[in-house]
Structure 1
């Protein structure tokens, strides 16, 4: 049986955070805009194309960016809006695409393999892009290719706000003239090493055999050689909106003590946030559930800025609890659920001290993984015995 030709589209919302800010404030159009933290200690989460002309890029300290472009406009960022627009685009794609993966808040892969029997896949992809632009007002670029790697690299070539189709069989020719660091995973150290080998463009890799590349760079060298051929076999992982992480606790005795209930709420939120980080996911929706002794069960949920951080989730859980709880009523069961999960790759972590905070959570999780989850807890969740109280 003949294997069907693979067709993978990669969609990427252009300068997503800036685009959302411009839609909400048209006065920012065509100006050097920096989205992120404060001028003194913040980091650039995103920048407009007008700002990039000055050499500014994401993850750059805001202080340095302002030195490069003193007239740049700093926007603190409205992350709730980014989540809303991301969901809007996701809904449009979900209504049309046979199989898609949400790689991040502003990036999608669509698998159209086998669909060429029924329609022109390139025309279909163009029509989807036009629908997204028409409905949301957001600029979006895409590339259609035979695998995820080629599609992602080609999308960068199509920007800003354009599209490209790398025809089957043209992968190697497309890649050959591009700088070798266009291959995902080629970092600064590897880039320097490759240049020392005389490899500046992707096509230069093919001057070596796979065995030679492996000898020089180990398994990564052989992998680079394969990628330079235009070969990549990663699958599009289906996006499941309904996937969630939850925990709940049915108490042995009905509880009315508010301090205990809030302590338990914090503990459970910490638990689901930890599981979220272990799965390298972010949540866009949170819910709290309460069951009373008569088995009446109520729940309340709210959309949130995509996050995996305890300090951002706990206040939301508290707010939901207070809106839901019938004061003075004993509680039989308490539950917390996170849903609308998406992949970890999100630029929102670059706002203010986000990167430092993420590193802190990583360090905490490393300790939990090594010595047990209960070793590090929020102070309010630690149960103190009567003997300890008397010390």
Structure 2
């Protein structure tokens, strides 16, 4: 059976959400992000014409586009609208994967003839726009890679169908930057040997690619040739990761409890980044000495940054622990997960913080998860110093 895979992407999602609330923001260069030392979380197409891009330092963005209006961002608004769009799509398709806060993959294989799937997708897009007012682009093809690249070419507010026989002609003239797994380092490496288009990349020997970029060489070659067997992973709101600690002796030591909770946040956030998850809900649990158990939760903007998650967890703990009673267990859970590669909270983080995370994750990957961490989460009395 031929596959029919759709990729949907909400256009300039954060910007579009802000414009729903304020019509005066239409048509002007708009940047969503933190203060002077922050980075761009999202920007309007008007700002992109000046070279502004996501993850760019705010200062650089303002040099490129001095007239841009800066908005810090409304986490709750974006999360709520994302959940609304998710519900609209999920109730209309057999299999949906939520790839990030504003991206979705749909598997419509076998639902109808190929043209019927395209028509069906257009109806879903119309429903999203009617019920939320948000613009959304999509592409339909035989696999996830081609449909995602197609969406990028269709934006903004565009649609595209790439049939099996059209895949290679569609991909060949495009820059290798269009392939999702090609970052700046890979692009520069391949550019130095004259590989800049997908056609040239697709004609390279697989062994040569593997020698240049390692184990990912074969996967990159397959994507350049329009080959991608990865399935659409059914989305579930119930997915979560969690940890808890039951004490050998009940305690009321608040500083120690906060240290434990901070350490839990860091370890779970590292797991999120390793497995390419983002969370939008933090849940803290405590169990008192008399076995009464209480929980409190808070919604956050999708993130995997432990300093953001740790702050929320500690705030929840302060609001939750209201009795002067010893605690026998403390737990932390991150839920409402979606797949995503944004490892930082781009609304608040500075470029220095993002670089720090990359370095810490590199050291953890190489020397172990406990090799480095925040002092607030370490049990210094039981650590061996080097």
Which of 273, 276, 297 is the equivalent residue of 2:272?
Answer: 276
In the alignment, which residue of structure 1 is the partner of 2:384?
A: none
Name the SS of the counterpart of 2:16 in structure 1.
Answer: helix
Aligned equivalents of 1:167 and 1:229: distance in 2? 14
- Unpaired runs of 5+ residues, structure 1, are 386-391
Counterparts of residues 183-198 of structure 1 (less than 5 Å):
183-187=179-183
Q: Which of 11, 17, 23 lines up with 2:20 in the alignment?
A: 23
CA separation in 1, counterparts of 2:9 and 2:84? 14
| Structure 2 partner of 1:232 | 228
- Quick check: 1:154–1:164 contact (8 Å CA) kept in 2? yes
1:250 aligns to 2:274 (yes or no): no
Relative to the length of structure 2, the TM-score reads 0.86
Between the aligned partners of 2:360 and 2:250, the Cα distance in structure 1 is 33
- Length, aligned pairs only: 381
* 8 Å CA contact 1:349, 1:355 repeated in 2: no
Q: Kindly state the Cα deviation for residue 111 of structure 1 after the two structures are TM-superposed.
A: 1.1
> Structure 1 residues 53, 371: closer, same or farther in 2, change over 3 A?
closer
When residues 360 and 332 of structure 1 are mapped into structure 2, their CA distance, relative to the original with a 3 A threshold, is: same
The whole-number CA distance in structure 2 between the counterparts of 1:15 and 1:228 is 26
Question: Out of 42, 45, 48, which is 1:49 matched to?
Answer: 45
Of stretches 334-343 and 65-74 in structure 1, the one that deviates more from structure 2 is 65-74
Of 66, 80, 87, 2:83 maps to 87
* 1:8/1:145 contact within 8 Å kept: yes
Deviations, residues 151-198 of structure 1 (Å, cap 9, x unaligned):
011111211112111123221222234334323344556656766777
Query: Which secondary structure does the structure 2 equivalent of 1:116 belong to?
Result: coil
1: CA distance between counterparts of 2:266 and 2:374? 8
Does residue 11 in structure 1 map to residue 8 in structure 2?
Answer: yes
Distance 1:226 1:302 in 2: 42
| Alpha-carbon distance, 1:8 to partner | 0.3
* Pair 119,167 (structure 1): closer, same or farther in 2 beyond 3 Å: closer
Deviates more, 1:214-223 or 1:98-107: 214-223
State how far apart, in whole Å, the 1-side matches of 2:303 and 2:16 are: 21
Deviation sequence 1:330-365 (CA, Å, 0-9, x none)? 222211111111223238644454443233234334
- Equivalent of residue 145 in structure 2, options 128, 143, 149: 149
Under a length normalisation based on structure 1, what TM-score does the superposition of the two structures give? 0.85
